[in-house]
Copies of this chain bind each other. A is one copy, B any other.
Amino acid sequence: MGELREPLRELIECGLPQALEVMGERWSFMILRASFNGLKHFEEFLSELGIARNILSNRLAKLVEHGILKREPCADDRRKIEYRLTEKGLDLLPAMLALRQWGQKYGSETVVEDPVLVDERDRLPIGPVSILAHDGRILGPQDLWLTRPANLGRRADGTIATPGESQGVSLGRGDVVDLAEAKAAAAR
């Protein structure tokens, strides 16, 4: 594995900071979850989340500004405003579920009585949010490798994969990382 160390460019350009700009704020994920749960109105969020009015107002405005929620006046009651998830907001579902599954796996209290997310086809609980290979295999840290776009492998049809497609994700730093080693180290 060649030494691969780039001139340490700013890490601002890797997707994560952009995501955190909105979702890193203290209440954003809780509001997002409430939206996934079907809440739409200001006062609903307010009483459900126990957040301060001004913060909620501010957060909702930011989420709307970033295109995660959209703000529509209600037809039947013109005081009311509906905050609904956009496509962009719905796309945060994997991230939210991954976080929640992690929190649940390591959290102290497990409340089994709460409703459960199921596959509507067979009503069985969903599995863990997973990192998939291009062919659908589930990948763990030990299966991942960080490399330069130039060193990408070739697909069966001989075409070179481009990082942009299929959500190829940059880790943003010019270092080859052996996640398997990291995993081994974690095991002590």
Binding site for B on A (CB under 8 A): 4, 8, 11, 13-20, 23-24, 26, 29-30, 33-34, 36-38, 48-49, 67, 84-134, 136-139, 141, 143-149, 151-153, 155, 161-177, 179-180, 182-183, 185-187
Contacts and interface: CB of A to CB of B under 8 A. Distances in A.
Contacts of A115: 4, 146-149, 170-176
Given A114-B13, A169-B116, A126 B144 contact: yes
B87 A187 contact: yes
Given A126-B144, A127-B133, A177-B37, A19 B103 contact: yes
Contacts of A177: 36-38
A102 B95 CA distance: 8
Nearest to A173: B37
Chain copies in the assembled complex: 2
B185 A84 contact: yes
B119 A145 contact: yes
A107 to B, nearest CB: 4
6 contacts: A90-B186, A91-B105, A117-B145, A118-B144, A120-B144, A126-B144
